[in-house]
Amino acid sequence: MKPSNDNVTLHILDKEYTVACPENERDNLQRAGQYLDARMRQIRGTGKVIGADRIAVMAALNISHELLLERAQLELENQGRQKQLSLMLDKLETALARHDD
């Protein structure tokens, strides 16, 4: 059974947007809208960027940059874990080889 879609109303930078969304994603979408609204207000508050379109693009760039940094950090952590697992496996194989002798 496919999840039903509900409309979710988001308030972003003094405008209202109605978006269709599966019921099980409603909270995530609302949090995303609140995060976007906060970032756009922060950018508007600096006074350096004028116009909702430009503010939206700057917010999108900032959020994309954050996402890419997080992904890179997770990849580094994953590589570290893989290296640790490989070292532990080598130690285990060495110990088992000694035990078999």
Which residue range(s) make up the domain with 93?
5-100
pTM for the model: 0.74
Return the pLDDT at 72. 96
Digit-coded pLDDT (tens) for 72-92: 999 999 999 999 999 999 999
Whether residue 1 is predicted with pLDDT greater than 60 in this model: the reply is no
Looking at the structure of the chain, the number of domains it has is: 1
Burial 41-77 (b: 16+ CB within 10 A, else e): eebbeeeebeeeeebbebbeeeeeeeeeeeeeeeeee
Task: Say how far apart CA 56 and CA 62 lie, in whole Å.
Answer: 10
Kindly report the CATH number assigned to the domain that includes residue 71: 3.30.160.880
